[in-house]
Amino acid sequence: MNTAAPPGAGITGEILQFHGTADLYATAGAAVVATLYSNAATATSAPAVTWQGVGSAGGVAAAFTYDLARSVV
């Protein structure tokens, strides 16, 4: 979790574990909020969550590369 800037500010920076599959994407200008890890110590280059401003009215789009609903207990 990138806690240095919003939207990660105030969220734990510790590695959170989930069991499941994730899609591996490269970012194209979006801010990386959280990064996928292949194990407890090894970060991948793929984001877990991204955040991108859209439109002229201040809209924001977030993308989760894993099944968020299945990961919430």
Segments forming the whole domain that contains residue 48: 1-6+24-66
pLDDT band at 20 (very low <50, low <70, confident <90, very high): confident
C-alpha span between 13 and 26 (Å, rounded): 21
> Residue type at 13?
G
Q: Look at residue 33 and tell me if it is in a domain.
A: yes
Comparing CA positions, the residue from 48, 59, 52, 41 lying closest to residue 11 is 48
CA distances in angstroms from 36 to 20, 21, 22, 32, 59, listed in the order given = 12, 11, 8, 10, 25
User: Is residue 71 scored above 90 in pLDDT?
Assistant: no
Q: Look at residue 16 and tell me if it is in a domain.
A: no
Domain count, the chain: 1
* pTM exceeding 0.75: yes
